[in-house]
Amino acid sequence: MTPIASIFGPLKLSLPTSSHPWHHSQSYHEHEWDKRPWLKKCGGCHATGVDLDQNGFKEPGVGCEACHGPGSHHAALPKTKIFKKRASIVNPDKLTAGVAVQICGSCHNRGKSTKVEGAGWPVGFRPGKALTTYYDSTSYAGGDVKHVYANEFSKGHHQLWVHRVEAVLAMIHIFTIHFFVEHWRPRCFPYSATMFEGSKSIEHLREEHPAWIARMEAEGTLKAALCRPAPVPLRILYFGVGYALIGLGVFLLVFGLLNVGLLTLNF
């Protein structure tokens, strides 16, 4: 747990408001930013693992656990416990759309906490839980004409400009981390068909998860886990879709990098 002062104390010294005003101090609560409790008002969405009782957080910035939930148990499980590892972490892609979108809405939102008075983020919320239990979202119907239009769309907000930069960074992160780790390995290049078939060859598994295969052989459960390879027509379809996705990913990455100059922040 990182105490809040150890991170944001030096920040004020390194960016004095007299010469280099901090981006948020310049236009977001400009006259009271230094008096607002950052952890309570903002920290829940700008740091990971925030604990108001301990006045600290686990990780500065938006880490993996912000969207996938606490990962200490997941990391502690051995690689051979593959099914338990999967169950110990939240994969938004496996959730229903209505539940998954609440993970995004826990921060890309306006409102107040229902658990801690004065908090600007859903204190206690974890990915996969119901957001409304922890957060009361603002709305035009509820009387908020300052921040929301009549069609319930958010009005111009200072974070909208920052989020355009965050979108480019998120795109680069997803493409380089999720894609490269799973697909662009010598054994799988240029992409892993597991994303379509839901299976891997036994030779591949013996190479990457030898202990797991050895345990299944010892327990006599390996034969029951074997399946037939996908039919040739489906494999051709996987091939076409896979390369189309690779092309789209490369295009988005290059396009974002070429236009990153248009997203420069004004400090």
Give tens-digit pLDDT for 144-203. Answer: 888 777 766 677 554 443 344 555 666 677 667 766 777 777 777 777 777 777 777 888
- pLDDT per residue over 200-245, tens digit each? 788 888 888 888 888 888 988 888 888 888 888 988 888 888 888 8
Strands (E), the chain: 2-3, 47-48, 56-57, 59-60, 111-113, 135-137
Contact 3, 49 (CB under 8 A): no
Q: What is the pTM of this model?
A: 0.54
Q: What is the mean pLDDT of the chain?
A: 77
